[in-house]
Amino acid sequence: MEHLLSIKDLHASINGKEILKGFSLDMKAGEVHAIMGPNGSGKSTLSKVLAGREEYEVTSGTVIYKGENLLEMSPEERAHQGIFMAFQYPVELPGVNNTYFMQASLNAIRKARGEPELNSLNFMKLVRTKLKALEMDENLLKRSVNTGFSGGEMKRNEILQMTLLEPTLSILDETDSGLDIDALKMVSKGVNSLRSPERSMLVITHYQRLLDYIQPDYVHVLSGGRIIRSGDKSLALELEEKGYGWLQQEAAA
């Protein structure tokens, strides 16, 4: 079976500093991959490169998504093609109404795909059902995007967008960080509700706990800008116990 996403020997830098140093990963449709790794190892860099942040310079390597060269697409084209990245640090948009933003987002994607846009009434119906499933406070819809949101509210807002946009490839960058236990369950429920044979997920996390809720097919360890170990979910348990040191030593050896 063809890969949904195929990353080969990716090198990327920012401000002349190389962060990704030969990153490779293949993902099939329907698979969930977890990426773990120490702070500063390049996990968010990878997410942003995949989502199309232009400040990162890809110096070599390839990224093929649905058989096409992902690196040639603008961020909005990637979103239209079904890529969604839940930000580690969602951005505040003062003065931009949250509901308006989500409707604009969904409709931009639908339009690009030649699907009819949703009017406000139908959009509100849709967003309310998603909101309920995430047990989110409806007031968050009336406020400016992420502005003054608590850490947990921001993360839930990211997941709300994800469940609205129903992406083919979701990249969750530490969506579990800063969540309380209930919120973690809620977010996991949202993520799991999207699991299907067509959809894939790249889940970046520091905590094995999340992987109890979102069971990954594979776990990879990213260190120094590349994957130094891959395994199944038992690898996450092992990391929880032993940390990263032993793997980094092995990789250096």
45 forms part of the interface with Mg ion (CB under 5 A): no
Q: How far is the CB of 104 from ligand ATP (least distance, A)?
A: 28
**Are residues 34 and 230 in contact, defined by beta-carbon separation less than 8 angstroms?**
no
58 forms part of the interface with ligand ATP (CB under 6 A): no
Residue 237 binds which entry of ligand ATP, Mg ion, other proteins, none, CB below 5-8 Å type-dependent:
none
The single-letter DSSP state of residue 30 is: T
CA–CA gap between residue 227 and residue 178 (Å, rounded): 25
Considering beta carbons, is residue 216 or 224 the nearer one to ligand ATP? Answer: 224
Q: How far is the CB of 43 from Mg ion (least distance, A)?
A: 5
The pair phi, psi for residue 105, each rounded to 5°, is -65, -50
* Cα–chain center distance at 134: 17
Q: How far is the CB of 4 from Mg ion (least distance, A)?
A: 23
Q: How far is the CB of 172 from other proteins (least distance, A)?
A: 13
CA–CA gap between residue 245 and residue 214 (Å, rounded): 25
HSE, side-chain direction, 13 A CA sphere, residue 212: 8
Residue 62 binds which entry of other proteins, Mg ion, ligand ATP, none, CB below 5-8 Å type-dependent:
none
Number of Cβ within a 10 Å radius of residue 72: 9
* C-alpha to C-alpha distances, 9 to 2, 81, 119, 202, 227, nearest whole angstrom: 18, 23, 44, 18, 10
Q: How far is the CB of 41 from Mg ion (least distance, A)?
A: 9
Considering beta carbons, is residue 90 or 216 the nearer one to other proteins? Answer: 90
Question: What's the one-letter identity of residue 26?
Answer: D
Considering beta carbons, is residue 5 or 51 the nearer one to other proteins? Answer: 51
44 forms part of the interface with Mg ion (CB under 5 A): yes
44 forms part of the interface with ligand ATP (CB under 6 A): yes
Residue 51: its H or E element: helix 43-51
Part in contact with ligand ATP (CB under 6 A); list of ranges 1-9, 15-23, 162-170, 189-197: 15-23
88 forms part of the interface with Mg ion (CB under 5 A): yes
Q: What angle do CA 187, 188, 192 make, to 5 degrees?
A: 120
223 forms part of the interface with Mg ion (CB under 5 A): no
15 forms part of the interface with ligand ATP (CB under 6 A): yes
Part in contact with Mg ion (CB under 5 A); list of ranges 51-59, 87-95, 182-190, 215-223: 87-95
